[in-house]
Structure 1
Amino acid sequence: MIRFENVTVTYAGAGAPTLDGVDLTVPEGELVLLVGPSGVGKSTLLNAVSGLVPHFTGGVLRGRVTVDGRDTRTHRPRELADVVGTVGQDPLAHFVTDTVEDELAYGMESLGLAPAVMRRRVEETLDLLGLAALRDRPIATLSGGQRQRVAIGSVLTPHPKVLVLDEPTSALDPAAAEEVLAVLQRLVHDLGTTVLLAEHRLERVVQYADRVALLPAPGAPVVVGPPADVMAVSPVHPPVVALGRLAGWDPLPLSVRDARRRAGGLRDRLAGLAPAPAAVPPAAAPAPAAAPAPAAPAGGGPAAVGGARVAPSGVRAVLSRLVRGAAAPPERGAGPTVAETRGLSVRRGKVEALRDVGVGVCAGETVALMGRNGAGKSTLLGALVGLVGPASGSVLVGGRAPHRTAPRELIRHVGLVPQEPRDLLYADTVAAECAVADADAGAAPGACRALVSELLPGVGDDTHPRDLSEGQRLALALSVVLTARPPLLLLDEPTRGLDYAAKGRLVGVLRGLAADGHAIVMATHDVELAAELAHRVVVLADGEVVADGPTHEVVVSSPAFAPQVAKILAPQPWLTVPQVEAAL
């Protein structure tokens, strides 16, 4: 169904090809998982299937890509639309209409399908993806995960022969991700749809793949084979595979169920042991105050906000470029309170997004906000940074009400990294972004570049941010914000688009910030990140706090939010592979 024959893609100005000599065949009716480190060309390969490369992205494509017999060099994307359905990493760039139901129908309308067929397929897709309650909602009011489901649904309704998906579960909560993957399996098994998808959260996907295609490094040949065989040599692999490698299991397990069947001996070896306690947050060491906000630049230049820049017309827009937090593991510390909410309720139009929320965060503490899509996680972060005001109750950050504090004063106390990292990036090169970030934060020259080098090794100074992958852009935006070192850091889905190596580097940076006394709050669906980083987990449901406690207590008791190691080794108290490795 899909065939790559010696395909090389080189973008204008690039020093080397993004893809080099790729040979790959995807048979009809298979689910093939594309894996590899960030920046190796996975998105380029996927876009070549739909014809976006080179017709939309530019660059030079050598070799041949065919889909259902059609050559993508001679067939533009619109001429492949009836065969290939594509969902990229950014759902917002995908939408054409304003409401959910209209978006689901748009693709079919473009293909000229009969109204009766369109109506039936819209209803089927609403039910398949759990979107029926959102059918009349404006897309602008949806959460990131809800938008992701709408984007997937909009390409399902035309019933394409091939589905190409880039990070399809990255913004979804665990339950919603399972629903989407179940739909994909039904399409493959029952309808013979061919699915090619790239995903960094392999713990969710790898057990469903018929085959795995590994792009190990730029220019290296693609490794294709059964999932267990490829995972045995892959530099990126889920925790269940890492645990299998550590325990010496052969063949490697791909699912929690397979691993539990083999884990008896490992549980015996771990009996009587306990995870080493992580360092408790500092008791009385508040995070260092961020550098004073510099005066607005003369001549209408961009203003600084938490290490990011905004157009001078919107000092309020400054607030939409702030920081969101992540986590680091032990019990809650006794440091001074950096932020707290009491009886907080927030309304968004007719929707009560938060109800009677009371949460406190101490210096040096990392808190993970978890819950299904639309539970209110992003709204709570928005309240902490002053983007939304309370309908009732109170919010205090550094002793101030964020929604009543001038942005240039507030950015000295809190910073936010939003779900869409491109909102923070304005310059034409990585070096220019870093230089402006240093100036905005009052930091020493090179401070931001040092963070970029730690999170994104190998990215050149002259690289344009738009040429980075979604995960690389997020790491760059995070570096820009961290340059200001705000006492309270807020992060919204900080690992979206990051591979395991990049996530590990991010974990190291955030642990260092927490050790220095910074408070970190992160909204995340990444249960593995929460297990590794968070001192506490706060679970939201329909705008209310339903759980708030130490990470090991909250996540182990929740089938939805428990990490793979906890499920495999239950009832023992292990959460991560490094904990098990240290004990052994």
Structure 2
Amino acid sequence: METRLLAHDYTFSYQTGGQPELKHVFFNPDPGSFNLLVGPSGSGKSTLLKSLAGLLPPFGGEVLSGQVLLNGEAITTIAPFERAKRVAFLFQNPSRQFAMRTPIGQLTFALENIQLPANEITKRIEHAFTQLDIHQLAQRDLLTLSGGEKQKVALAATLALGSSYILLDEPFASVDQSSRSHLLTMLKELQTKAGKTIILTDHDLSGYRDLVDQLYQIDSKGQLISLNPKKLVNEAPTAGAFLNHYQATGPLDWQQLSITLGQRQLMKANDFTLAQNQLGLLSGDNGVGKSTFFNALTHQRPYQGLVNWQKKDSRRIAFKRWALTVGLVFQDASDQFVTLTLAEEIAFSKAHTRLPDYWTNQRIQAALTSLNLQPFQNHSLYQLSGGQQKKAQVLTMLIMGQPVLLFDEPLAGLDYDSIQALMRLIKATIQDNHLSGLMISHQRAGLANFVDYELNLKHANLTLNKGATNET
């Protein structure tokens, strides 16, 4: 029997008596179709996917009207292992899907949960690892993988289930452009050759025009509307080297800094001064060691050579004091939060800020407004969308105001307008307070007005790009 998944007159709210995130949604994608769901950060895209997967309302919120049906049955009444055989879901944050220590352990665990025989599990794992080209990650500790590598592992686990419907929430948020192109081609083949129904969300709309059968958008009222997929573009925005405005002055520098992980050298010995009053971009493919480099600078990973603060070896500085000197914006926003609500998180940062005269209540409220976060101050941080969590995380770290700020994928999962608003806030904070900033991002389009220089990590060599032209 052909599997059919649909939402009928579906209205959902996270908070009793609050504004519904989704209103009277009718969504009935054709089996075997490729569907793209778009909309600004916080519009309800993740909420719709989680509802289609049967995760809501069991894990939060309430249905105010309608229902989600799988083959005519309310999806929340179907046993989870039976649902997973038909509907597979990839979380926006891949770490939320991991229960085991290694990729091979995770895939084995997922397939055992749908009660597959052992010989079938072995075949499916081999096929998934080949599809994603991640055999080399099979026995790695998941905690040591980069964000892009984790996304590939989570996608492999999702595809291995063999479900008829594959729901993907921002599956390319932390992967490089070449990996994104490869994964899009693979998903199209799953649709055309295996008859899978693909439903995914993405803020980067390039490369979809010849792939998508149906394009949907959730509007500001929480309603689902259908758009013409021919309006999509095939090519990613051109983004060449950024203009180089690098100035080699600042209180943090490193000398003969090198990093190894096991037997692998991630970074060869190099010298550099992190520029004050400037924001740099750290680029490089998934898995080259960018996040590990940031962890070394914050004394969370061992390194060889010297990291100096005001010409003195930073290893002589107590860890707590160093954390107040070099701030790290984690790749996973939820790992950063120490309180429950956005208002509480802001209050915590304000109580520990190094910039008390700068971060006045008026400035904070203006920042919340510019990021469209003001209505959510009393909401649980863990019920915000992935994009809203990112904006809240970056704002609270900017309020902390360490002299050096390292941003690990702060733009993942954000729409273009949110990226522009957040980058204006980051840039203004750095320049107004004479901070030093360095940012990891696979998102390049739209950053020309904010990035002062680019460092690239490739083949263990960290180099300063000379700079040429910006994106158009």
Matched to 1:490, the amino acid is: L
After TM superposition, list the pairs within 5 Å mapping 1:393-412 onto structure 2. 393-412=305-324
1:482-561 paired onto structure 2 within 5 Å: 482-516=398-432, 517-545=434-462, 547-551=463-467, 553=468
| 1:448 CA drift (Å) | 4.0
DSSP-derived class of the 1:357 partner? strand
Q: Aligned letter for 1:256? A: E
Q: What is the distance in 1 between the residues matched to 2:327 and 2:282?
A: 16
Give the residue type in structure 1 aligned to 2:77. Answer: T
Residue in structure 1 matched with residue 158 of structure 2 by the alignment = 155
Residue 225 of structure 2 corresponds to 223
Instruction: Return the offset for 1:31.
Output: 1.3
Give the aligned partner of residue 83 of structure 1. 86
* Alignment-mate amino acid for residue 536 of structure 1: Y
- Answer yes or no: is 1:352 the counterpart of 2:265: yes
Alignment correspondent of 1:18: 21
Q: Where does structure 1 differ by over 6 angstroms across 4 or more consecutive aligned residues?
A: none
Structure possessing the higher relative contact order (Cα contacts under 8 Å, 6 or more residues apart): 2
Q: CA deviation at 1:141?
A: 1.6
Give the equivalent residue in structure 2 for 1:381.
294
Q: Distance in 2 between matches of 1:539 and 1:212?
A: 35
Alpha-carbon distance, 1:76 to partner: 4.5
- Structure 1 CA distance, aligned partners of 2:121 and 2:324? 52
- Contact 2:331 / 2:408 at 8 angstroms: preserved in 1? yes
Label 1:333 to 1:126 Cα distance change in 2 as closer, same or farther (>3 A): closer
CA distance in 2, matches of 1:404, 1:529: 40
Report 1:63-462 matches (<5 A).
Answer: 63-203=66-206, 205=208, 208-219=211-222, 221-229=223-231, 254-256=233-235, 330-334=243-247, 336-390=249-303, 392-441=304-353, 443=356, 446=361, 447-462=363-378
Question: CA 1:398/1:386 → structure 2, altered by over 3 Å: closer, same or farther?
Answer: farther
Deviation of the 1:56 alpha carbon: 2.4
**Which letter does structure 2 place at the counterpart of 1:503?**
I
Is the partner of 1:473 in helix, strand or coil? helix
Residue number among 3, 6, 18 corresponding to 1:3 in the alignment: 6
- SS in structure 1 at match of 2:8: strand
**TM-score between the two structures when normalised by the length of structure 2:** 0.91
Shift in CA distance, 403/191, structure 1 to aligned 2, threshold 3 Å: farther
- Which residue does 1:321 correspond to in 2? none
Structure 2: distance between partners of 1:104 and 1:148: 13
The CA distance in 2 between the partners of 1:477 and 1:107, in whole Å, is 31
Aligned CA distance change for structure 1 residues 539 and 335 (closer, same or farther; 3 Å): closer
1:4 CA drift (Å): 1.6
Consecutive unaligned residues of structure 2, counting only runs of 5 or more, are none
* 1:51 to 2:54 alignment: yes
Is the 8 Å Cα contact of residues 384 and 397 (structure 1) preserved in structure 2?
no
Residue 228 of structure 1 aligns with an amino acid whose one-letter code is: K
CA distance in 1, matches of 2:387, 2:422: 11
Is the CA contact (8 Å cut-off) linking 1:344 and 1:356 kept in structure 2? yes
**Which sits farther off after the overlay, 505-514 or 469-478?**
505-514
Shift of residue 400, structure 1, vs aligned partner? 4.1
The percent identity for this pair of structures is 27
TM (norm. structure 1) is 0.74
C-alpha distance 403-175 of structure 1, shift in aligned 2 (>3 A): farther
CA distance in 1, matches of 2:376, 2:160: 41
What is the RMSD computed on CA atoms of the aligned residues? 2.4
Q: What residue is the counterpart of 1:271 in the other structure?
A: none
> Offset at 1:530?
4.7
- CA distance in structure 2 between the partners assigned to 1:218 and 1:529 by the alignment: 27
For 2:185 and 2:262, the matched residues in 1 are separated by 33
How do residues 25-40 of structure 1 correspond to structure 2 at under 5 angstroms? 25-40=28-43
Task: From the superposition, tell whether residues 20 and 182 of structure 1 become closer, same or farther in structure 2 (CA, over 3 Å).
Answer: same
Inter-CA distance 387–437: structure 2 relative to 1 (3 Å threshold) = same
Shift in Å, 1:412: 4.3
